[in-house]
Every structure is written in C-alpha cells, then in structure tokens.
Structure 1
Amino acid sequence: MSSWETGQFIYLLVLGGALALWLFIENRDSIGTKLKQLSAWGLIFLGTIAVIGLWGDIRQTVQPRQAVFADQGRIELPMAPDGHYYVTLQLNGEPIRFVVDTGASAVVLTRQDAARAGIDAEKLAFFSEAMTANGAVKTAPVTLDMVALGPFEDRKMPAFVNAGEMDTSLLGMTYLQRFDRIEISGGQLVLER
C-alpha cells in the first residue's frame, strides 16, 4: 500500500469509528437496534472500501472496447474517458496499444512498443526528425513486417520509433489512409475497408 492509500485507509477507519461511537451514544436504550445498525454501517463501510480498492478493475470491465465486424469490414472504437480513441493492433504478432492521431502523418512507436514488436532500438539510427507540439524530436525509420487489425492485415508498413519519451504509440495517417472510410459519430470512431 502506498502512503496515500494508507492515509485514506486511516481516514476511513477514523470515520467508521466516529459513526460507531455516535450510534452507541444515540441509541443507549436499545442494544439490539444498535448492533443491527452497526452491522449495516459496517457492511456499507466494507463495501465502500472494496469498491475503492477494485475501482480500476471495475472500470476496465465496464468500459467499452474496440469491436471488430469482420463480415462488414468494419472496426468501431469507443471514445475513452480522456476524449481520445485507442486501438490495439498486432505488430509482428504482438498486441500494441495506439492512440489514434489524425494529426500525425506517420505511425510512431515508443521505444518500449518497438522492442515488444521485435525491433532492437539500440541498433536504430535516429537521424530523421519530427515536429510535435513540444518541438522537434529525433526519430528512426523502421519497416513493420506485419500490421493487423481484425481482418485487415498489412505488410511492410513504414513507421518511426521516437527517440524521446512518449506515453503511447501514435497511429497516424500512413495507416489510417488505408481505410476507405473514417467516421467519428456518437462517441465512436468507425474504420471501414
């Protein structure tokens, strides 16, 4: 447990203790009623702690995910809570998560994602340059042997590995332009071929 979580836990214990003390003082005449109420509040308290502890797992379970409709040649990506669209592609057989970026001209991988896709970042030559919102960054051109999204498979796709720090790889226009239709509607990004 981190110090922040420990602090939250202590706060909840103090709050629970204060509620229990108030219940005993308020209902001095009826021990049975006090115990029932204390049990109910204890269950509410434990339930709250469980929800807080499991919130990340609960959110992942109920959050919509990308949907592949192979027979229709269609992929639907739900908008994430941060307002972006994320998609998981298979790069050289490895699942890599991308943020869809129509403002990026190319596919740009983080060093970590490049390594997962079998690209040795230590052997790359970072001689090209890309302009970002944070200024120029060094990049290394690479060729991805296989890129797959649902039923769509592309071979020998050009991409770049970013020399700088990035949280998520970018899925830019060199890949997106391979689709016949790109539409954003009703909180979904739809890709069709």
Structure 2
Amino acid sequence: MTGHEYGRLAYLGLLALALVLWFFFRDRTRLGLKLQYLGVWALILLGAIAAVGLWGDIRQTVMPQQAVFAEDGRVALPRAPDGHYYVSLDLNGVPTRFVVDTGATGMVLSRNDAERAGLTPDQLIFRGQANTANGMVRTAPVRLESVGLGPFTDRNVRAYVNEGEMRTSLLGMSYLQRFDRLEISNGQLILER
C-alpha cells in the first residue's frame, strides 16, 4: 500500500470510530443493549470476511471433480461454475490442467505447462501461427512422449506451445478425436473410448 492509501485508511478508521462513539454516547441509558448490537455486527462482519477469504477453498471442496470410470472406458467432466469443462491430463507424467475447447484445432500448451512437462523453452521454434480470439499468435510444434487421462495413455502426441500469455492450456479437437464418443448431458462432458 502507498502512503496515500494508508492516509485514506486512517481517515476512514477515524470516521468510523467517531460514528461508533457518537452512537454510544448519544443515549447512555441503553449502553448494554448497544454493546450487544455492536458484538452482533462485529460477528457478522468477521463471518463475511472469513467467507470471502475462504471462498476459493470452499468452492474447490464442494465443486464436483472429474470422474474416471475405467471399467466403462469413459471419463466424466463436470461443468465448472464459469460454464467451461476442465480436465487434468498427465503430460509426460506431470499433471496439467486444460480447458476443453472444441473450437481449437490442436492441443495448445501454455509456456509454463510446456516447461513443466519437460519441454526446454530454449529449444522451442515458434514458426507456426494460430488465429485466436486475441489475434494472431506464434506457435511452436512439439511432440509429447505420453498423454494420460485415467486409464487411457497416448504416445507421441502432437501439440503446440503458444508464445503468448495463456492462463490455461487448451485441449482441442486433435486430442478429443481420439475418443469414440463425446457427449454433453446433465452438466457433464462424457468422453468414451
């Protein structure tokens, strides 16, 4: 925080203190009742702060996760609150989160995910181009030794590394076509082989 922000915070704190003191000393006959009200409001404020601070953990706990049904040869991906479907794949043995993108032609890795999967950033040659929602970006073609999803493992999988900034890697149709069936039903994306 800057000095200006600290000053603003101090001003607001003094203003709140003045309002609380005015509230209490305006009518001293019901001081006990006012203290009870102040305690209730303090607990409500504390609860709200705790809920906001823990929301990410709470959401991860109650949000459905991807389910693998190995005996049936299928994977069920729940729709996330943002409306997308996310899947965790093992790239060269490293768990990596993808957003399923049926509008993407190929599997597109962020630079961070590519590096985590063992692809050396210095050896990437960005000679391709892709047209994205953010405009044209340069891409580097790569081959992944293994891509695993539950009981399914594919070898020598073609992918691309995006030179631009990406929060999450994209799982496009080149990988999704390896499945016999893709179905969206009851808030789930079902992949089946």
Asked if TM exceeds 0.5, the reply is yes
Deviates more, 1:62-71 or 1:178-187: 62-71
Deviates more, 1:58-67 or 1:98-107: 58-67
Deviations 1:25-56 (A, max 9, x none): 67632333333222222211211121122222
CA distance in 1, matches of 2:36, 2:71: 57
Deviations 1:160-192 (A, max 9, x none): 111222221110111101111111122211111
Seen in structure 2, the aligned counterparts of structure 1 residues 135 and 19 have a Cα distance that, compared at 3 Å, is same
The reply on whether 1:120 has 2:120 as its aligned counterpart is yes
Q: CA deviation at 1:87?
A: 0.9
| Structure 2 unmatched runs, 5+ | none
Q: CA deviation at 1:22?
A: 7.1
Question: How do 1:12-31 and structure 2 match up within 5 A?
Answer: 20-21=20-21, 24=24, 28-31=28-31
Number of paired residues?
Answer: 192
Question: How do 1:72-91 and structure 2 match up within 5 A?
Answer: 72-91=72-91
TM-score (norm 2): 0.83
CA distance in 1, matches of 2:6, 2:47: 17
2:129 partner SS? strand
TM-score (norm 1): 0.83
Question: How do 1:129-144 and structure 2 match up within 5 A?
Answer: 129-144=129-144
CA distance in 1, matches of 2:143, 2:59: 36
The reply on whether 1:146 has 2:146 as its aligned counterpart is yes
Alignment root-mean-square deviation, CA: 3.0
1:166 alignment counterpart: 166
Q: Percent identity?
A: 63
2:28 partner SS? coil
2:29 partner SS? coil
1:30 partner SS? helix
| Structure 1 unmatched runs, 5+ | none
Contact 1:16–1:45 (CA<8 Å) still a contact in 2? no
